[in-house]
Amino acid sequence: MKYAILFASKKGGTRKVSEWINEKLGTENSVLIDLGNNQEPDLNAYDTIIIGGPIYAGNLYEPVKKYLDQNSSKLIEKHLGLFICGMNEAEEDAQLERAFPESLRHYAVAMAYLGGEFDFKKLNWFERFLVKRITGTRASVENYKKEAIDEFVKKLSTH
């Protein structure tokens, strides 16, 4: 089985998660494709397509959203895995639903919310202000869902 992991990452968290997924699937069987740099990857050589992106202010990061809008019909022809990264666990189901069109969710063999981080060193002053105001978080915090990542990879590799 050959895997393509398509992602875009604004502050590096989704890249981290994509790299962990890549390692768990076996780097000899999978490739990372940054949609921030490549909106037209050739996916013909891959059996399974995994797509992920971060959620900002309740919305999927634009490079991922744009790719999905332009390629949904091609994606349903492959085994499909969908994931988001974010820090609002209370809204994870709603965010997954808003992030991915129903047509893709219907065909996905795995779908997951995989956590995220607020890295205050990578946030500008306005982003830090918003994080503090909205979440009450006053310092960098990391909350990746390692077990969810393992379960996500397991579902992908057994289909």
Buried b (16+ CB within 10 A) or exposed e, 54-90: bbeeeebbebbbebbeebeeebeebbbbbbbbbbeee
3-state secondary structure of 124: coil
What does pTM read for this prediction?
Answer: 0.92
* Per-residue pLDDT, 62: 95
102-159: pLDDT as tens digits: 999 999 999 999 999 999 999 999 989 988 998 888 999 999 999 999 999 999 988 6
Evaluate the CA torsion angle 44, 46, 48, 54 in order and state its sign: negative
CA 79/CA 92 separation, integer angstroms: 22
* Per-residue pLDDT, 1: 83
* Per-residue pLDDT, 27: 82
Identify how many contiguous H helices and E strands the chain contains and give both numbers: 6, 8
Average pLDDT estimate for 67-84: 92
27-39: pLDDT as tens digits: 888 999 999 998 8
* Per-residue pLDDT, 120: 93
42-63: pLDDT as tens digits: 888 999 999 999 998 889 999 9
* Per-residue pLDDT, 89: 87
